[in-house]
Amino acid sequence: MKKFFIPFLLVIAAAAQQAKPSPAEAAVTAELKQPATTDAPATTAAQPAKTEAQAKPAAIPALPVGTAIRLKLETPLYSGSTKPNSEFYGRVTEDIKLNDKVIIPVGSSLQGHVMQVSNPRRFKGKPMIQLKPESVTLPNGQKYIISAAVVDTNKINGTDVDDEGRIKGPGHTDRDPMEIGIGTGAGAVIGAIAGGARGSLIGAGIGAGGTLVHWLTKHNYAYLPAGSEIIFELSRPMTVTESH
């Protein structure tokens, strides 16, 4: 009985020795079981550096100063009847582009006001109409505020544009001295028939005086009918709103 009991105890002791961890394994196990300390600083995910393009705000596109806007008038302008502060309208006749993109298409409507109207007698100068464009409305309803001045017309009815963007009508013409001469001659003929040579001199004075008064009091007019072509140029950049 003792022969069998002693080996049995030896087997149990060996198994117990195998199950018991080594000091090194026990230390590793204890270290793994310890709670994490809070002394170590928390790590944060690295943030990607901003590129130069991301750092700068996107530039707002704008039509530059000097951009031409060609249109046809829908409102006739006449220095004899057009009043200051009255409205005028026109239609854009050429696409206006920025970086090959159409910003103001053909058919857009331009609105504005008449700033000044002058209609002096021909002896005192030329008639004048000054326009102030204020906005352009696209066919889709989008509206842009503009600041621009007239730089040219299609010269209809003898109109032109001065350095301040004012539309000028014709002043006195080469026919005016001829009209005075014709009036003087007609008066002389009438005077000669009525009273001889002395009457001729009197008639000449009457004819000259009457024609001169007519010439001095006669008005010339600046007239641009509907359909007249006008070219504006932007005097300030026009900010463009991107449509999405």
CB 139 within 8 A of CB 125: no
Q: Is residue 104 in a domain?
A: yes
The torsion angles phi and psi of 116, rounded to 5 degrees, stand at -140, 150
What does the pLDDT read at residue 123?
Answer: 55
What does the pLDDT read at residue 190?
Answer: 41
What does the pLDDT read at residue 128?
Answer: 93
198, 225: one domain = no
136, 233: one domain = yes
Extract the residue ranges of the chain whose pLDDT is less than 50. 28, 40, 180, 182-194, 197-198, 200-208, 211-216, 244
Q: Is residue 6 in a domain?
A: no
194, 95: one domain = no
72, 160: one domain = yes
Which structural domain range is residue 88 located in? 62-172+220-239
CATH of residue 136's domain is: 2.40.128.260
106, 214: one domain = no
210, 137: one domain = no
178-199: b (≥16 Cβ within 10 Å) or e: ebbeebbebbbebbbeeeeeee
40 exposure class (CB count in 10 Å sphere: 0-12, 13-18, 19+): exposed
- The residue type found at 86 is S
Question: Dihedral angle at the C-alpha atoms of 233, 236, 239, 240, nearest 10 degrees?
Answer: 10
**What's the CA gap between 89 and 208, in Å, rounded?**
45
Closest listed residue to residue 240, CA positions, set 144, 107, 112: 144
**Cα 109 off chain centre by:** 13
235, 194: one domain = no
What does the pLDDT read at residue 142?
Answer: 94
166, 109: one domain = yes
What does the pLDDT read at residue 162?
Answer: 92
What does the pLDDT read at residue 157?
Answer: 84
* Cβ-proximal residues to 153 (8 Å cutoff; 6+ apart), any chain: 159, 160, 161, 167, 224, 228, 229, 230, 231
100, 156: one domain = yes
In DSSP terms, 152 is beta-bridged to: 231
Number of domains in the chain: 2
What does the pLDDT read at residue 224?
Answer: 94
143, 230: one domain = yes
CB 190 within 8 A of CB 203: yes
What does the pLDDT read at residue 240?
Answer: 85
What does the pLDDT read at residue 227?
Answer: 95
C-alpha pair distances (Å), 38 with each of 27, 42, 71, 75: 21, 9, 75, 81
| H helical segments located in the chain | 2-19, 23-33, 52-55, 175-217
167, 180: one domain = no
Model confidence pLDDT, tens digit, residues 80-137: 899 999 999 999 999 999 999 999 999 999 999 999 999 876 556 789 999 999 999 9
**What's the CA gap between 223 and 77, in Å, rounded?**
6
78, 125: one domain = yes
